[in-house]
Amino acid sequence: MEILNPETQLKPIKPSLGIDFPEMVANLMHNLPGLAYRCLYDEQWTMIFLSQGCAEVIGYNSEELLDNNNFSFESLIHTEDREYVRKCVDEAVSRRTKFQMEYRITDKDGNLRWVWEQGNAIYDAHNEARYLDGYIADITSRKNVEEEIKQAAKNLAELNATKDKLFSLIAHDLQNPVYAIITLSDFIVNNKNSFNEQEIGTFLNQISLSAKGIFDLLENLLDWGRIQTGNIVVQQEYVSLPKLINFVVGQFKPSYQEKNIQIQFAQNEEIMVESDSRLLGTILRNLLSNAIKYSHPNSSVKIQIVRDNCQIILSVSDKGMGIGRRDMARLFSINNEIHRLGTLRESGSGLGLVLVKEFADKIGASLQVSSKINRGSTFSVILPDAMAVALDIES
């Protein structure tokens, strides 16, 4: 095995004949994917050399920055980052080490760009830093990807938190109706010979209401799941509001009859909107469900359609428990922590109102809420001009 002479290793390699070193350096600088520079170690980072990558990185030609002809390089650094850049360079100079940092600049078009910079100071005979030599690269694309990853991680964390919240809601809302069905049906089976036909009918009606509550919850959960996975597609069509309202009201007949609640809705005029009937129906279903749930027995729920300058305002009003001020701002959030039983101890998680907000946003509608404790609430869905058809259909 040959042993190399250390002295031989330290000798510089002689250039081959015919190589033009100034030309080679110029070509290397031209092909750099970033910006090489030398500047004075002063307050403005006065540039005395800039490679041709200057225009590619910051949008300016070198002539515009050399000797601060038009402006200084320091003025391109984002105002929030200037102190940080100065501190990084000064600390490296004092320790006689390289500096390395990432910061923002404003390019010629006024856009913010992220750059990565590395360099070191050149000292004079008096050991004072006179120049800074360095290299700057545009890392905006990388920063954008990092930001997207951060946002995705944040969204994932929120989704996991929402998932945990959802499991809690499922356990809370399913427990009461399932327990009611099990206990009541067992009671009927064990004492079937002790009841008359009217009593059995009453028990079956209670089981039916509990089963419907479970069905409504599962339907809301499926809709919520579709929203989270992006599988909700808005399908525009002409929708008759009176027909849609009457259909939804019919679905709740056992519920409001059980509490002897009158549903007040009288609409002789046909009113049409261009919207998604399924999403609009889900909004109305959840608003009416809450109105019945939180209304006192022997009261009323009023549904109105009002035309207002080519807008359609659909409102559901009750005279029930009402909502406190502190809860109003949290009504449409899945993290609202609002768990209120209805006037007959019907379970309520607030998931329905979360769907109302999500679906209203999907169809381009807005929501308004007014409420007073023990005096009732009014939820209004406002359909914008572009959706309001308001056609009079001849019978």
**pLDDT tens per residue, range 226-235:** 777 777 778 8
Residue 104: its pLDDT value, please?
Answer: 95
pTM higher than 0.95:
no
Tokens at 14, concatenated? 């002689």
Q: Running DSSP on this structure, what letter comes out for residue 310?
A: T
**HSE of 87 in the Cβ direction (CA atoms, 13 Å)?**
7
Residue 4 has pLDDT above 50, yes or no: no
Packing angle of the helix pair 140-190, 351-363 (nearest 10 deg) = 130
Which value, in Å, is the radius of gyration of the alpha carbons in the chain? 36
Tokens at 24, concatenated? 């080679």
Residue 395: its pLDDT value, please?
Answer: 36
Residue 1 has pLDDT above 50, yes or no: no
Check residue 287 and give left, alpha or beta (phi > 0: left; psi -120 to 50: alpha).
alpha
**Short-list 99, 104, 103, 105, CA closest to 41:** 99
Confidence at 13, pLDDT banded by 50, 70, 90: very low
Confidence at 195, pLDDT banded by 50, 70, 90: confident
3-state secondary structure of 378: strand
**Short-list 93, 118, 145, CA closest to 34:** 118
Q: Give the whole-number percent of the chain exceeding pLDDT 90.
A: 34
Averaged over 107-120, what is the pLDDT? 93
3-state secondary structure of 290: helix
- 317 φ/ψ angles, rounded to the nearest 5 degrees: -120, 140
Cα distances (angstroms) measured from residue 92 to each of 81, 137, 151: 17, 19, 33
